[in-house]
Amino acid sequence: MHKLILSSLLLIYHFSLFAQPSDSSIQWPDGKRMALSLSFDDGRPSQVDVGTPLFDRYDAKATFYLVPSAVKQRLPKWKKAAKAGHEMGNHSLQHPCSGNFLWARDKAIEKYTLEEMKTELKEANQQIAQMLGVTPTTFAYPCGQTYVGRGTQTQSYVPVVAELFTAGRGWLDEAPNDPSYCDMAQITGVSMDTKDFEEIKTIVETAAAQGLWLVLAGHDIGEEGRQTTRTAMLKTLIQYAQDPANGIWLAPVGEVADYVLSKR
């Protein structure tokens, strides 16, 4: 209990550091105070076993950043999710991350070139389009890492993402996005894994007070697990977001990105 209270207090303090008035000139649709996007990485089975039935029950649309090989494990369910209007995003073909993760050593981004990364992202788009009938327009950086190479040969692949996609989302970021300022190829993604509603509500309230766009990022959807977004939290969050009194526009990443770009 003491650990939970301390965690919540630290979270409140952390986000209060960013609670400065926004100078954004972009107004959200229908007088909403903020935009909120729910996004999930990897195309894990629990996302369509547990997640999409929950979202469909509340008529809430989410964004799923897919690795094609994972989609094949639940292909009929992913087809149903795409048909229901959930956004299908790109999360690369091989999920390359730093070789400092031992599980990524055989696909380490330190070994990639920009051209190899571009080829991989285009191939992932093609495979997702072939399987699901939709071509991704947004991307999530695996492990939130935006570079290839090492040392003096390190290069950012953010320009590649900017060329191929409307938006690119990060991971483990610290603040929501200012729609009038944020780099669409590097929008922030705030983790929602393992958090309860009160922790998430603190972040949402900060974003609403400033007219910002909060993109939450998770992995599995269920009740337990280190990289799991809790179903109880999601139910409460969706109900909170859909209450007109709270002024929240709940929409997929791509839909919000298109709106922001149309207003700039």
Pairing relation of β-strands 155-156 and 147-148?
Answer: antiparallel
Give residue 4's pLDDT band: very low, low, confident or very high (50, 70, 90). Answer: very low
Say how far apart CA 20 and CA 182 lie, in whole Å.
16
| pLDDT at 51 > cutoff 90 | yes
Full-model pTM: 0.92
Mean pLDDT of 88-99: 98
| Closest residue by Cα to residue 117 from 83, 155, 84 | 155
What is the CB neighbour count within 10 angstroms for residue 10?
A: 11
Can you name the residues that pair with 84 across neighbouring β-strands? none
Beta-bridged to residue 139, according to DSSP, are 90, 168
Q: Indicate the pLDDT class of residue 24, thresholds 50, 70 and 90.
A: low
For residue 152, give the DSSP letter.
G
pLDDT of residue 25: 79
Are the CB atoms for 131 and 71 separated by under 8 Å? Answer: yes
Distance CA 145, CA 186 (A): 11
How many angstroms separate the CA atoms of 109 and 2, rounded?
Answer: 40
Rounded Cα distance between 16 and 21, Å, is 11
Q: What is the pLDDT of residues 108-142, one digit of tens each?
A: 999 999 999 999 999 999 999 999 999 999 999 99
Structure token digits, residue 28: 């959200």
Q: What is the pLDDT of residue 22?
A: 53
Is residue 16 over pLDDT 80?
no
186-218 confidence digits (pLDDT tens): 999 999 999 999 999 999 999 999 999 999 999
Plot region of 175 (φ>0 → left; ψ -120 to 50 → alpha; else → beta): beta
Q: What is the DSSP letter of 177?
A: B
Q: Tens digits of per-residue pLDDT, 226-242?
A: 999 999 999 999 999 99
DSSP 190-249: EE-TT--HHHHHHHHHHHHHHT-EEEEEESEEESS-TTEEEHHHHHHHHHHHH-GGG-EE
50 pLDDT exceeds 50? Answer: yes
For residue 116, what pLDDT is reported? 98
- CA 175 vs. chain centroid, Å, equals 13
The answer to whether residue 17 scores a pLDDT higher than 50 is: no
